[in-house]
Amino acid sequence: MLTPKNNASALRTEILLQVAKSFLADRFAGIDQIPSLVRPDNSQPLRGSLEADRTYVKYAAIAALGFDPDIEDGADISLTQYAQKALERTSAAPSVLSVIKASCAACMTQRYLVSNNCRACLARPCMLNCPKQAIDVKAQAVIDQSKCVKCGRCADVCPYNAIIKVPLPCEDACPVGAITKGEDGREHIDHSKCISCGKCLNSCPFGVIVETSQMVDVLRELHTPEHKVVAMLAPAVLGQYPGSINNLVGALQKLGFSHVIEVAVGADITTIKEAAEFVEKAKRGEQLMTTSCCPAYFKAAEIHIPEIQPYVSHTKTPMYYTAELVKKERPDCTTVFIGPCLAKRVEAESDPHVDYVITFEELGAILQAAEINVAECEPVDFTEVSYAQGRGYSVSGGVAGAVASLIEGEVNYQPIKIDGLTKESVKLLKRYGAKATAGGTCTNPEGCPFNMIEVMCCEGGCVAGPSCVALPKKSAKAVETYTAQGADLKAKQS
């Protein structure tokens, strides 16, 4: 059912699958066999030896059970013991991204190297543009790594593309510098800086960055007969699994969820409130507002971009409003948000209405472990459904477009979008915030003025989230079609 992005994600998915299977088969009685099941005796070692492979699998399984492998001494504690502790938990496992230190390859620090394409040309722009005079040219260019500050100017100006960047993937992907090398050369995540965007998790070629999962907590709730569990499906779910969205609703009910609601219902509320907030601020003469739906961006603004923080919308997210509705109607139920985003777990920790968060990847593992084929399930309607533009929130531009549909010329509305948080876009947001605070009009790189910024941490929107299982373009197309169908039906009903 699940299509892996690469071998590292395939291994991560296999471990989730085996943990889910172990729960469903015998409530974890055989869980200690997972390392040898995933890496059997006849396997070609991936990390030097089968012992090293199995150590990795064990620590990844510890994370799948909801524990931080960075602080757990997994060498002396069995998976059975961790599983028992997981089953005894009465609240969600704390959300954290961690590095499995025992398996980290301690990659070399990012650097620039000169390839054989160098012709030792007369122009020598690499030398002239290096701010630290770190380059000398003899038979070919040579970079003095002790002087190099890794600015990349030499690579930018080389006419032969002979200078290449050798990245440190996890550090390169992090937009806020939260992951760095420790004294032992292995990576370390500074949780005081981390925004839980998950970019490092998907960028590590060795798969040693993992997240603490709440999958076991949700499985336990689903298999407690007296508990009523409600699934809240993020709009980005479109296109993630085979079959229709109504087949998926049927599959979730087959798993044991008592009700299924689309989070687009909450997105409609967010749209109304955010549009009203923008109009109110614009009428007061305020120069700028940004969206607040992306929890990774919200965290980034809070910790790393104080310049933009005053301009972040105070409106709550679609998950918040959806869960609020569910708890109002069913106060004794257990709410489970299902989406593509790791940062949603952090958001849920301060939301009294959300009990658990699982990802599309984790749901896929549960469905596969339960031998449920979504496409073959009986189609079932949502308990509550949206016909408005909240369905489009999961694609870049969707939030700004939804807000625009309600303002309708009431005030001047000129939105732009930051399509993906990167080191550069973080700097850009700092400049925009400083400009607005100084009383100036913000303009984009082309010089066009704007007064609203939609910020999505993932390029392309939530359909490109770190725990999606479908190609972003496929999911985005499905979201577009589904949103259009809802709009057509709403127009007919009117």
pLDDT in tens, 257-280: 999 999 999 999 999 999 999 999
Q: Among candidates 255, 197, 247, which has minimal Cα distance to 231?
A: 255
Whether 303 and 176 have beta carbons less than 8 Å apart is answered as yes
Q: How far apart are CA 369 and CA 441, in angstroms?
A: 54
Q: Among candidates 271, 276, 369, which has minimal Cα distance to 15?
A: 369
Q: How far apart are CA 280 and CA 87, in angstroms?
A: 48
Whether the predicted pLDDT of 56 surpasses 70? yes
pLDDT of residue 239: 93
Strand (E) or helix (H) holding 269? helix 264-283
pLDDT category of residue 3 using cuts at 50, 70 and 90: low
Residue 315's Cα: distance from chain center in Å? 21
Strands 179-181 and 187-189: antiparallel
Residues 341-379 pLDDT 10s? 999 999 999 999 999 999 999 999 999 999 999 999 999
Return the sign of the alpha-carbon dihedral for residues 365, 371, 373, 379.
negative
Whether the predicted pLDDT of 494 surpasses 90? no
Identify the structural domains of the chain with CATH numbers, from first to last: 7-106+172-213 (3.30.70.20), 111-166 (3.30.70.20), 227-493 (no CATH)
Alpha helices in 304-447 (DSSP H): 318-329, 343-348, 360-369, 398-407, 423-437
Instruction: Give the Å distances, CA to CA, from 90 to 62, 84, 186, 335, 348.
Output: 18, 12, 34, 14, 16
Q: Among candidates 12, 456, 492, which has minimal Cα distance to 236?
A: 456
Q: Among candidates 150, 155, 125, which has minimal Cα distance to 137?
A: 125
131 secondary structure, DSSP code? T
Q: Which two tokens stand for residue 57?
A: 């699998």
For the beta carbon of residue 460, count every other beta carbon within 10 angstroms.
19
Q: How far apart are CA 179 and CA 196, in angstroms?
A: 11
Q: Which two tokens stand for residue 329?
A: 């109607």
pLDDT of residue 155: 97
Ramachandran category for residue 43: left, alpha or beta (phi over 0 → left; psi -120 to 50 → alpha): beta
Residues 175-220 pLDDT 10s? 999 999 988 999 999 999 999 999 999 999 999 999 999 999 999 9
Q: What is the CA radius of gyration of the chain?
A: 24
Q: What b/e sequence results for 191-211 when a residue is b if at least 16 CB atoms lie within 10 Å of its CB, and e otherwise?
A: eebbbbbbbbbbbbebbbbbb
Q: Which two tokens stand for residue 55?
A: 């150590």
pLDDT category of residue 41 using cuts at 50, 70 and 90: very high
Q: How far apart are CA 425 and CA 199, in angstroms?
A: 15
Phi and psi torsions of 175, nearest 5°: -75, -10
pLDDT of residue 431: 96
Burial status of residue 412 (CB atoms within 10 A of its CB: 0-12, 13-18, 19 or more): exposed
pLDDT category of residue 228 using cuts at 50, 70 and 90: very high
pLDDT of residue 409: 81
pLDDT category of residue 149 using cuts at 50, 70 and 90: very high
Residues 370-410 pLDDT 10s? 999 999 999 999 887 776 788 899 999 999 999 999 998 89
Whether the predicted pLDDT of 454 surpasses 60? yes
Whether 91 and 221 have beta carbons less than 8 Å apart is answered as no
Residues 277-326 pLDDT 10s? 999 999 999 999 999 999 999 999 999 999 999 999 999 999 999 999 99
Q: How far apart are CA 60 and CA 66, in angstroms?
A: 10
pLDDT category of residue 30 using cuts at 50, 70 and 90: very high
For tokens 């100017």, the residue is: 153
pLDDT of residue 128: 95
Coil, strand or helix: which one is 5? Answer: coil
Please report the beta strands in 158-213, taking only residues with DSSP state E, as ranges in sequence order: 163-166, 179-181, 187-189, 209-211
For the beta carbon of residue 368, count every other beta carbon within 10 angstroms.
17
pLDDT category of residue 86 using cuts at 50, 70 and 90: very high
Residues 66-75 pLDDT 10s? 999 988 777 7
Q: How far apart are CA 153 and CA 391, in angstroms?
A: 43
Phi and psi torsions of 225, nearest 5°: -50, -40
Whether the predicted pLDDT of 151 surpasses 60? yes
Alpha helices in 131-195 (DSSP H): 153-157, 169-173
pLDDT category of residue 93 using cuts at 50, 70 and 90: confident
Instruction: Please list the residues that pair with 143 across neighbouring strands.
Output: 135
Residue 458's Cα: distance from chain center in Å? 7
Instruction: Please list the residues that pair with 232 across neighbouring strands.
Output: 261, 337
CA atoms within 13 A on the CB side of 1: 27
